[in-house]
Structure 1
Amino acid sequence: MADTLHHFIEQFGLVAIFIGCLLEGETVAILGGFFAHQDVLVPWQVFATVYVGAFCGDALLFLVGKHFSGAAFVHRLEDKPAFAYAQRMVRKYPTLYVLLNRYVYGLRMIGGVVAGLAGIGTMKFLLLNAVATLIWASIFTGMGYVFGTAAEQIIGSELARHQRLLVALGVAVLVVLVGLVFMHRMRRKAVRRD
């Protein structure tokens, strides 16, 4: 099974990373960096895939907000508690908002749409997003790469590569679960405030 998993990651890892980074992405970017450290994937290809996936995801959400403000998807996002907060922030600090919204967990999906609705120019958004995404991809892919080094120190380099992959997948599941619990608590707090 471990050999099958290893082969699967080699074959489809970059596609999975691209799709994951189109959506939310932090956990996927970290995992990509880890797999690059383990020599399962090529480091520069992982970084490029993380960057392009995250950039395209943000640009797509921005264009949805800018050109499809009446769409059902946008109306569903408007019902989320963080939407009003994001609108206030983008009005007060449009440049800073575009540069930093991707770092607020759970705000990325809303963030691009809100930026599009706020009337930020397309070129301005794309340039700011390119810078923000470059920094973001470096941080999260780098964290995964460093995590790979730390895992080798903790687990031991004598473990087979596929065993470290299984450990990484276990850690990824744990990170996702912690993120979901955190988001659930943040939503409950936001609902209580309203």
Structure 2
Amino acid sequence: MTMEALIAAWGLPALTLGSLFEGDAVAFIGGLMAHRGLISAVGAWAAVTVGAMGVDNVLFHLGRHSGRVPLVARLLRNPVAVRVTAAAAAHPVKIILGFRFVWGTRTFTPPVLGAAGVNGLLFLALDAVSVSLWAALYVGLGFGLGLTVERLWGALSWGQHVALSVGAGVLLAGGLYALWRRRAR
């Protein structure tokens, strides 16, 4: 079985499972897979959205019951988590809609919001909006960079296509980060 056939057969479930652990890269790869025609773009978006929402909601409910989970209780004592808890009381909607777009906050923000007493239905509804937009952004980036790589270098093997697209994505992210850092000064 070729790599492309394997990915086509296991693509959507693999994207869902992968987005439980590493969302950005998995969503980006989902966009590349959609560009290559292995899965549909809507399917990639849906699979990544389901996985990311699943992990967010599990973490939220772990935070809600943090007294029974020692690892979560320790996480909530972190100084950054304490600041997010205070901000969650004042601005829960902004935090729920924005945390998915801030690198480094995806793992601890949902349990902090759960422990802060944010309404579960509010979290679910706003997380659905946020994750849907985030998944569309990253799947779209993967699809667009895949298209760009193909137009620049022609037909490539799957491995070459992924390597060049991921390299282009890293360069793009690095350039945007450098621009942001320069502007922050």
Note whether the superposition's TM-score is higher than 0.5: yes
Task: Extract unaligned runs of 5+ from structure 2.
Answer: 178-185
| Counterparts of 2:151 and 2:80, CA distance in 1 | 40
| Counterparts of 2:35 and 2:50, CA distance in 1 | 20
In the alignment of these two chains, the number of paired residues is 173
Contact preservation (8 Å) 2:66, 2:115: no
| Counterparts of 1:93 and 1:13, CA distance in 2 | 37
Please tell me the residue identity of whatever aligns with 1:149.
Answer: L
2:70 to 69, 72, 75: 72
DSSP-derived class of the 2:150 partner? helix
Identical amino acids, percent of aligned pairs: 32
Higher relative CO (Cα under 8 Å, sequence separation at least 6) belongs to 1
| Counterparts of 1:76 and 1:13, CA distance in 2 | 36
Contact preservation (8 Å) 1:35, 1:165: no
What per-residue deviation string (whole Å, max 9, x for no partner) do you get for residues 2-56 of structure 1?
x632232222222221122123401110110111011122222111101111111
Say yes or no: does 1:159 pair with 2:152.
no
DSSP-derived class of the 1:109 partner? coil
Residue of structure 2 equivalent to 1:21: 19
TM-score (norm 2): 0.81
Contact preservation (8 Å) 1:24, 1:108: no
Classify 1:16/1:80 alpha carbon distance in 2 versus 1 (closer, same or farther; 3 Å): farther
Say yes or no: does 1:107 pair with 2:122.
no
Please tell me the residue identity of whatever aligns with 1:93.
Answer: H
Contact preservation (8 Å) 2:66, 2:73: no
Please tell me the residue identity of whatever aligns with 1:78.
Answer: L
Residue of structure 1 equivalent to 2:95: 97
Contact preservation (8 Å) 1:90, 1:118: yes
Contact preservation (8 Å) 1:24, 1:109: no
Q: CA RMSD in A?
A: 2.5
| Counterparts of 1:27 and 1:11, CA distance in 2 | 20
1:82 to 64, 76, 80: 80
Classify 1:85/1:27 alpha carbon distance in 2 versus 1 (closer, same or farther; 3 Å): farther
| Counterparts of 1:39 and 1:80, CA distance in 2 | 44
Contact preservation (8 Å) 1:99, 1:132: yes
TM-score (norm 1): 0.78
Please tell me the residue identity of whatever aligns with 1:147.
Answer: L
Map 1:26-175 to 2 at 5 A.
26-78=24-76, 80=78, 82-156=80-154, 158-161=155-158, 163-168=160-165, 171=167, 175=170
DSSP-derived class of the 2:9 partner? helix
Contact preservation (8 Å) 1:100, 1:132: yes
What per-residue deviation string (whole Å, max 9, x for no partner) do you get for residues 102-157 of structure 1?
1110111101101100101111111111111111111111111111111112222x
Classify 1:93/1:24 alpha carbon distance in 2 versus 1 (closer, same or farther; 3 Å): farther
